[in-house]
């Protein structure tokens, strides 16, 4: 990465949270009544339905609420809507991880209606410590006898982007390398498909081999996405260490979250999620190579 580009990128990012501060919360998610932000009914109903599906089909839900940057004045059009779900405290870590994967498979890249906001579900064993969140919004506050849905927030949060740049460049660089290789494999595949079979020995084998390389490339990118997502899940699930409290002060400022937000901002996550959804239906074959080509155009 050239020095001039790095300096320019640092300058752009240093103006943000990593994102610019807005004058209000997202109006597609919240209405403003008497100086209080109230979640729009279609949004809260959708989240309630998702949680009910988890309760009916995956694991009993004890409590749930919204947290994360959608409750901040640094939201983006495609910021996640993070929903924390409390489950019984006698569930072992490995079982909790299995359940989290099941939830992710069911709801990853599912969008809040009429928005570009994906819903993200975090399973928490036992009661969640509110000190670990900068914002907490309780959807069913009235049913729970609360007069105000806001336990904490809305909020502003700032970070020094220089503290995260080297890690971001490493993660984004790895995705860029794999995406570039995949793009070249698709070009090779398209060229092979145009060749006359009678002129090239073993052409069908070469085409199939290149298709295998495309599948491997997509699998590598999907693996990277799941790894990035799981690291963020773990960061929010684990308690802050004394060292992390001193250095970061908030889970929102942990590298796993800030880098996730930076990848989100530059559409890496959108691309990776779309690849994951595509491969969840089937392997990449002649019929959907063009779909892969369109998805990676995002980067």
pLDDT in tens, 165-209: 999 999 999 999 999 999 999 999 999 988 887 777 788 889 999
CB 103, CB 121: distance < 8 Å: yes
pLDDT, position 12: 46
Look at 63-72, 190-199, 287-296 and tell me which has the smallest mean pLDDT.
Answer: 190-199
Q: How far is CA 234 from CA 111, 212, 239, 240, 255, in A?
A: 22, 32, 9, 11, 12
* Distance (Å, whole) CA 31 – CA 50: 21
Backbone φ, ψ for residue 87 (5° rounding): -125, 175
Whether 5 has a pLDDT exceeding 60, the answer reads: no
For the segment(s) 19-152, the CATH number from 3.40.710.10, 3.30.70.1350, 3.90.1720.10, 3.90.1580.10 is: 3.30.70.1350
Whether 271 has a pLDDT exceeding 80, the answer reads: yes
Whether 241 has a pLDDT exceeding 60, the answer reads: yes
* Distance (Å, whole) CA 175 – CA 156: 30
Residue 7's pLDDT band, with cuts at 50, 70 and 90, is: low
pLDDT, position 235: 87
Classify burial at 297, counting beta carbons within 10 Å of its beta carbon; exposed 0-12, middle 13-18, buried 19 or more.
exposed
Whether 43 has a pLDDT exceeding 80, the answer reads: yes
Numbered ranges of CATH 3.30.70.1350 in the chain: 19-152
């Amino acid at each position: 990465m050239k020095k001039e580009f790095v300096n320019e990128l640092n300058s752009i990012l240093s103006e943000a949270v990593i994102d610019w501060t807005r004058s209000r919360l997202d109006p597609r998610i919240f209405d403003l009544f008497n100086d209080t932000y109230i979640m729009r009914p279609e949004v809260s109903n959708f989240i309630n339905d998702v949680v009910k599906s988890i309760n009916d089909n995956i694991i009993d839900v004890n409590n749930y609420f919204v947290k994360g940057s959608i409750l901040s004045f640094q939201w983006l059009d495609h910021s996640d809507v993070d929903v924390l779900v409390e489950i019984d405290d006698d569930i072992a870590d490995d079982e909790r991880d299995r359940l989290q994967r099941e939830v992710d498979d069911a709801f990853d890249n599912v969008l809040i209606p009429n928005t570009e906001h994906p819903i993200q579900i975090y399973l928490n064993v036992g009661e969640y410590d509110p000190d670990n969140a900068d914002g907490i919004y309780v959807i069913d506050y009235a049913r729970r006898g609360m007069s105000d849905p806001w336990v904490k927030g809305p909020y502003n949060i700032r970070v020094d982007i220089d503290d995260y740049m080297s890690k971001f460049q490493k993660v984004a660089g790895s995705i860029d390398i794999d995406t570039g290789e995949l793009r070249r494999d698709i070009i090779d595949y398209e060229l092979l498909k145009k060749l006359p079979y009678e002129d090239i020995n073993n052409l069908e084998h070469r085409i199939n081999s290149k298709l295998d390389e495309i599948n491997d490339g997509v699998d590598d990118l999907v693996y990277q996405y799941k790894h990035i997502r799981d690291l963020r899940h773990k960061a929010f699930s684990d308690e802050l260490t004394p060292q992390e409290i001193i250095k970061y002060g908030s889970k929102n400022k942990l590298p796993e979250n800030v880098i996730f937000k930076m990848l989100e901002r530059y559409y890496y996550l959108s691309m990776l999620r779309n690849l994951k959804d595509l491969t969840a239906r089937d392997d990449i074959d002649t019929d959907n190579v063009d779909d892969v080509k369109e998805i990676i155009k995002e980067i």
